[in-house]
Amino acid sequence: MKIEDKHIDLWSKIGSRATFGMSLLEIQKEFQKLQIVTSDVSTSAGLDRFRKTYPEKFTDVGISEQNLIGVATGLSEVGFDVITTTFSPFQVLRCCEQIKNNLGYMKSKVTMVGLASGLVLGTLGFTHASIEEIGAIRSIPNINIISPADSLETVKSVYASLKQNKSTYIRLTGGQPNPKVYNQDYNFEIGKAIKLRNGEEIAVIVCGARVKDSLDARDKLFENYKKNISIYNFHTIKPIDEKMILKISKKYKYIVTIEEHNIIGGLGSAVAEVLSSVKENKSKLIKLGVKDTYPPGGEYSYLIKLLNLDSGSLYKQFKKILNI
């Protein structure tokens, strides 16, 4: 898939949700058997144009998520490349047993895109914000989990998921605009973490919209103290890049995981599981995220700050760890 720089700018402006729907207009050219199945969210997923242009490739089952996964499974069984989408809590938890039986146990292949996950819908409350679903889906065998760092990585995740043969859950985070982590096209592979900055003492393992804030905090640290720390974009939470974690555990004093998710069950847990089996682990793990609680609701920027996950708070925490 050819990606032009002007698209990257546009996608960043419109955010990951709208990017997802818009990019499918391009992606469908390469996948003749593509089917998009939704639960009454076409406009929320930027799919309105797709729905009108390719009605034969678009199925709306209404607000019924159990049926969403069932119908998607059936379409997959007769040879279609199927993408489902709705808001993250409904895409995963509402139909979790269908995901288990159909995609996990029976291995039917469906790509699920969870919209507006993490904290971006905080003003709507925690019926709609989503901080648990990675934990639920991570315990189901045979399903990949990707949390793209920006809008470009969203497109690359959808494309890569369609190109391989396992079911995948793609967790969209971040608002609109969705600041760029990548200014140009790059090599993306499911399960392969990407080192974005090289440094010492601290390795930050981060996913989703928190990548950009981690980079900003790191750059400020460098600017003010000439101190370099490493930032790793762990876009794939499952299969987790064990090799990279092992490598990191040998090199750094501290590993800091950062995510818009409960610290139980998410990226931090996945990293901890790998570290627990490392024989001589020299690094200390610090897990940043939602600390197993439902915070008060509120605007995205408010919540991110409240939970100490914004670039300013991360900067302070990095400083504290380094005793600066």
Partner 1 sequence: MKSFNKKNISKFAKNLRKNILKMSLSAGAASSHFGGALSCIDIIAVLFNNVINFNSKNFKKQSRDRFILSKGHACLSLYSVLKEIDIISEKEILTFEKSNSFLLGHPVKNFDKGIELSTGSLGMGLSISMGIALGLKKNKLKSKVYTIIGDGECNEGAIWEVALSAPKFNLNNFCVIIDRNNFQQTGLGTEILNLNPLKDKWKSFNWDVIEIDGHDYLDIFNSLIKPSTKPKIIIAKTIKGKGFSFSENNNDWHHKVLTKNQYEEGIRELDQ
Strands 230-233 and 143-146: unpaired
Question: Within 63-82, which residues bind partner 1 (CB under 8 A)?
Answer: 64, 66-67, 69-80
Minimum CB separation of residue 61 from partner 1 in Å reads 5
If the CB atoms of residues 33 and 243 are measured against partner 1, the closer one turns out to be 33
Minimum CB separation of residue 52 from partner 1 in Å reads 18
Stretch of 21-29, 54-62, 183-191, 228-236 contacting partner 1, by CB under 8 A? 54-62
Phi-psi group of 226: left, alpha or beta (phi > 0 → left; psi -120 to 50 → alpha; rest → beta): left
Stretch of 22-30, 58-66, 146-154, 253-261 contacting partner 1, by CB under 8 A? 58-66
Minimum CB separation of residue 104 from partner 1 in Å reads 10
Q: Which of 16, 38, 98, 262 binds partner 1 (CB under 8 A)?
A: 98
Q: Which of 30, 43, 106, 243 binds partner 1 (CB under 8 A)?
A: 106
In the 3-class helix/strand/coil scheme, how is 43-79 assigned residue by residue? CCCCCHHHHHHCHHHEEECCCCHHHHHHHHHHHHHCC
Q: How many CB atoms lie within 10 A of CB 63?
A: 14
C-alpha span between 3 and 8 (Å, rounded): 8
If the CB atoms of residues 94 and 156 are measured against partner 1, the closer one turns out to be 94
C-alpha span between 288 and 203 (Å, rounded): 13
Minimum CB separation of residue 72 from partner 1 in Å reads 6
Q: Is residue 102 close enough to count as binding partner 1 by CB under 8 A?
A: yes
Q: Which of 5, 29, 62, 163 binds partner 1 (CB under 8 A)?
A: 62
In the 3-class helix/strand/coil scheme, how is 98-123 assigned residue by residue? HHHHHHHHCCCCEEEEEECCECCCHH
The distance of Cα 20 from the centroid of its chain, to the nearest Å, equals 13
Q: Which of 22, 27, 47, 61 binds partner 1 (CB under 8 A)?
A: 61
What's 130's DSSP letter? Answer: B
Question: Within 151-190, which residues bind partner 1 (CB under 8 A)?
Answer: none
If the CB atoms of residues 64 and 308 are measured against partner 1, the closer one turns out to be 64
Minimum CB separation of residue 75 from partner 1 in Å reads 4
If the CB atoms of residues 32 and 276 are measured against partner 1, the closer one turns out to be 32
Q: In the numeric block, which tokens belong to residue 5? A: 């720089």
Number of residues that bind partner 1 (CB under 8 A): 27
Q: Is residue 58 close enough to count as binding partner 1 by CB under 8 A?
A: no
Q: How many CB atoms lie within 10 A of CB 128?
A: 17
Minimum CB separation of residue 91 from partner 1 in Å reads 15
Q: In the numeric block, which tokens belong to residue 252? A: 């750094």
The alpha-helical segments, DSSP class H, found in the chain are 5-30, 48-53, 65-77, 88-92, 96-98, 133-138, 151-163, 210-225, 242-251, 267-275, 300-306, 311-321
Minimum CB separation of residue 142 from partner 1 in Å reads 12
C-alpha span between 303 and 297 (Å, rounded): 7
Closest CA to 167 of 209, 136, 137, 130: 137
Minimum CB separation of residue 74 from partner 1 in Å reads 2
Minimum CB separation of residue 65 from partner 1 in Å reads 9
Q: Is residue 35 close enough to count as binding partner 1 by CB under 8 A?
A: yes
Q: Which residues bind partner 1 (CB under 8 A)?
A: 35, 56, 59, 61-62, 64, 66-67, 69-80, 97-98, 101-102, 105-107
